[in-house]
Amino acid sequence: MFSRRREVGFAIHDAARLLRTYSDQRAAELGTTRAQWAVLVRLQRCEGAKQNELAEALDIAPITLARLVDKLAAAGLVERRADPNDRRAHRLYLTEGALPALVALGRLAEDIMGRALAGLADGDVEAVVAAMATIKANLKAELHSGAHHK
């Protein structure tokens, strides 16, 4: 029998896996992938980022991001521009064509999360958001401290 605290770990893992799977299925409705969707949304938040910065923010390998950006550029959604301060680097920007895609993806995200959070009151949703922020902060602090407790 696991403690309630250990059950939280399983619940987070299972919910995240199911959310990824469901999001993959739903993203296909718009002819995209969850990975491409993540790149577009993150780029919307930090337009002009270098590829390596964006890869780090998304926690993916730079080569993986390069392939995703290749596909998004071929679809006319993202463009690479030379970095004026570093000729080896490129900065990434959304094209005008990305805006309708982001609007559609935003509506899809609202629908997905509406279904995932069905039955939860607004206060419960706020409590989950706050709890997850605390969990993330705790884990980041542990990772950055390098301390491993036994």
Pick the CATH number of 18-118 from 2.30.30.40, 1.10.10.10, 1.20.1440.60, 1.10.10.60: 1.10.10.10
Residues of the chain with pLDDT under 50: none
pLDDT at res. 2: 77
Q: Where are the domains of the chain?
A: 18-118, 119-150
pLDDT at res. 89: 86
Q: Residue 11's closest CA among 135, 150, 145?
A: 135
pLDDT at res. 56: 92
Report the predicted TM-score, pTM, of the whole model to 2 decimal places: 0.81
How far apart, in whole angstroms, are the C-alpha atoms of residue 34 and residue 36?
Answer: 6
Residues 51/65, Cβ–Cβ less than 8 Å: yes
